[in-house]
Structures are given as C-alpha cells and as structure tokens.
Amino acid sequence: MSTCFELPLTPNYVRDWDFGMAVRELIQNGLDQQSVDAKSLFSVDYDPDTQKLKFTNARSRLKVNTLLLGRSSKSNDEDTVGQFGEGYKIAALVLNRLGKTFTIYNNMMNQIWTSKFKNSRKWLDKLLAFFVEDVQSPNDSLVIEVGNVTQEEYNQLTEIWLSDPSVARIRTEYGDILTEPEYSGKFFVNGLYIECSGDFSFGYDVKPRYMVLERDRKSCDSWSARQVTCKMITSALLSGGLDFDTAKELIEVDADDINLIDYTYIEGGGKERLIENLEKSFEEQHPSESKSSSVYVPVNSEIDKERVNAYGGIPVIVPHNVASAPFPTR
C-alpha cells in the first residue's frame, strides 16, 4: 500500500527545460550531499542494456516534507551549490514529461518513491505525484533511478559534470586549477559546470563557498570569477603549485585569471620574485642601447605616457598589471 503526495506542478511547468537541465539538478544534489557528509559518496552508473541511469549517495535520505516547494535540507549551507530547494522535484517533472521513469530508493527511510503524472480530483488537472511505499531496504543509500535513458542522453553528462578524477589540476584552498588545455576557460563549482564569461587561460573547479552563483545556479558574473581565480593563482604561487614564469606570462597577456592581482598580498618573497621576473622580461623585450640612452618605461594610460615623454623616457603601453608592478629600478 502506498501513500500519494500530489505536487502543485503541471506537466507544462518549466517548459524550456530539457534532459540535460534535469540531470544537472540530480548531479548537483548528489555532489552537495557529498560535500556536507564525506561518507555519503556520490556516484553515477548507467546500464545501456536496461537504459537505467542511477544517481547514488552512499548514505543519505529524503524526508517527505522535502516534497514541498522551497523546502530543502541544505538551505544556507555554504558548502553546497543549491540553495533553493526545488531541484529533484523539477527534475522528476521534466523527466516524466520526456517519457522517462523516475524512482527514488530512499533506503535509509525504508521507502520507495515512484513518480508519475495523475489526474487530480482536487485540482481538476494533471499534476506530478509521488507514491511512497514502505519496504525493507538493504542499506542506507539514496538512489535516484531514471529509466528509458539512451546512450546519447547519457553522454551529455560529460558536458555537465567534471567526473574524471585524473584531470590534471593544482589544488588550492579555494578549489582546483585545471591545467589541461581542453578545460581552458571552463568553470565548475563543486564539479558542476557553470557559465562564466571572460578570457581565462586555465579551467577552474571552485568550492561553493567562494563563488556566488546567479539565481539559476548555472552561471556567475565575470567579476566574481576574476576575484576567485586571482586568489587561486596567488595561492598556487605561494604553495609552489604554479611557477612564477607562468604567472608572469598570464600578467603579460592580461589574462582574466590574474587580472585583479594585488601584489601586496603575495607573501614569503613571492612578490619580489614575481616582480623581478616581470621586470626582466620587460627589459629583454625593450633593451636600452646604452646607459646614457632614454629608458623604456611601461605605462597603461595616456596621462602616464605624456608624463614619461615629458621626462625624456620612452613610454611603452602594456597591460595594467605590468605597468603597476613596483619595479625596483623604476
């Protein structure tokens, strides 16, 4: 015997959502749960023969009250991506609309939740409903099973989720810098892909507490992205994970990764070494013919250019962070 819970969601809700958007919500929930409980390891499995896609947390549960819209067990948790409490319900609606099955094995609660659309006598319309049945469960895992998933649909997960642990990365307190060329300019938060505009040389997987997302949880503003990547680059420099020549090159090409650098926060001799590398590189590119000849000076504005000309120097327009570097000999 099962208990029916009708949700005030009709099949036409979030009509623009597709399979990838729905699955993204399920991955996000699984990763968030793993973030708050390290023992609740998250995994994804696909069986092409049965066409079943499973999202599993090793130790987790859902209470019936999470079926309420806006109700979430992770509200205000800075280690999670989601904050708005609608994810798995909307995913269930979209996947049912696409002809998939959506079943939750809520093992810690000894329950199976089956979802489908039903004609509501109360609301005189078709709504999403969950049918909760009490069963004896073998373990404490939470498994969301989506049926009728094609191989092509499953392949979409690689565009949503950074699932490969072998991807080369530099670890920092703010998250990971992804150094492989194929990830250049790509942003992830807790392993989940987000859209960020900007000219970034590396890829980044940022911890949720350090990245503020837009309401849709799928994008961020470029200012926030540049702030956190600058902190990650600086942290990698100080830890030895990133070499100073690479940081110098990022500054010279005005990459957004390090666009907001503040030299005063680079400690332990790192500031002096980075500035020395920048100065050496500038002098190699603009050598003076003799000690008595005019000196080349890096500038970043017309005002500075005119000032250098007035003093008999030769101004060279360079990116802001090269011009602002406090070269010892300047």
Between vectors from CA 263 to CA 262 and to CA 265, what angle results, nearest 5°? Answer: 75
Q: Of 1, 6, 3, which Cα lies nearest the Cα of 116?
A: 6
- Is the pLDDT at 84 greater than 50, yes or no? no
User: pLDDT tens digits, residue range 103-156?
Assistant: 999 999 999 999 999 999 998 999 999 999 999 998 999 999 999 999 999 999
Give the pairing of strands 175-178 and 169-172: antiparallel
User: pLDDT tens digits, residue range 187-232?
Assistant: 999 899 999 888 999 999 999 889 888 766 788 888 989 999 999 9
- Residues 6 or more apart in contact with residue 205 via CB below 8 angstroms: 162, 169, 175, 176, 178, 188, 189, 190, 191
In the 8-state DSSP scheme, what is residue 73?
A: T
* Distance set, CA 320 to CA 85, 118, 252, 255, 269 (Å): 43, 61, 9, 11, 22
Per-residue model confidence (pLDDT) at position 201? 96
Q: What percent of the chain is predicted at pLDDT more than 70?
A: 91
DSSP string, 233-302: HHHHHHHTSS-HHHHHHHHHTT-GGGTT--GGG-TTTHHHHHHHHHHHHHHHHS--SSTTSPPEEEE-SH
Q: What are phi and psi of 216, to 5 degrees?
A: -80, -5
> Alpha-carbon distance 211 to 225, whole Å?
7
Complete domains list, the chain, with CATH: 2-159 (3.30.565), 169-261 (no CATH), 270-323 (no CATH)
User: pLDDT tens digits, residue range 263-278?
Assistant: 877 776 778 888 888 8
User: How does residue 185 score in pLDDT terms, banded at 50, 70 and 90?
Assistant: very high
The length of the chain, given as a count of residues:
330
* Distance set, CA 304 to CA 287, 315, 319, 327, 330 (Å): 20, 8, 13, 16, 14
